[in-house]
Amino acid sequence: MDILGIDIGGTGIKGAPVNISTGKLRAERLRVLTPRPATPVKVAKAVKTIARHFNWRGAIGVGFPGIVQHGRVITAANLHKAWVGESAQALFHKATGAAVQVVNDADAAGLAEMRFGAGRRRKGKVLLLTFGTGIGSALFVDGKLVSNTEFGHVQIRGKAAERRASDAIRTKKKLGWKKWARRVQEYLNHMVLLLSPDLIIIGGGAAKDYQKFAKYIELPVEMIPAQNGNLAGIVGAALAGRNVSKKTRAKK
Phi, psi angle pair for 156, to nearest 5°: -125, 115
| Residues facing 203 on adjacent strands | 130
Tell me the pTM: 0.92
| Count of other CB atoms within 10 angstroms of residue 39 | 16
What per-residue confidence (pLDDT) applies to 246?
55
pLDDT in tens, 147-172: 999 999 999 999 999 999 999 999 99
89/72 Cα distance (integer angstroms): 7
Task: Tell me how far the alpha carbon of residue 101 is from its chain's centroid.
Answer: 14
What per-residue confidence (pLDDT) applies to 250?
40
Tell me the H-state helices in 13-58: 40-53
Low-confidence ranges of the chain (pLDDT < 50): 248-252
pLDDT in tens, 108-131: 999 999 999 999 999 999 999 999
17/227 Cα distance (integer angstroms): 19
| Residues facing 125 on adjacent strands | 141
Residues 10 and 133 sit within 8 Å (Cβ to Cβ): yes
Q: 3-state DSSP: the chain helix, strand, coil percent, rounded to 5?
A: 40, 25, 35
- Note every long-range contact of 87-90, with CB atoms under 8 Å and residues 24 or more positions apart, other chains counting: 88/40, 88/62, 88/64
Residues 35 and 9 sit within 8 Å (Cβ to Cβ): no
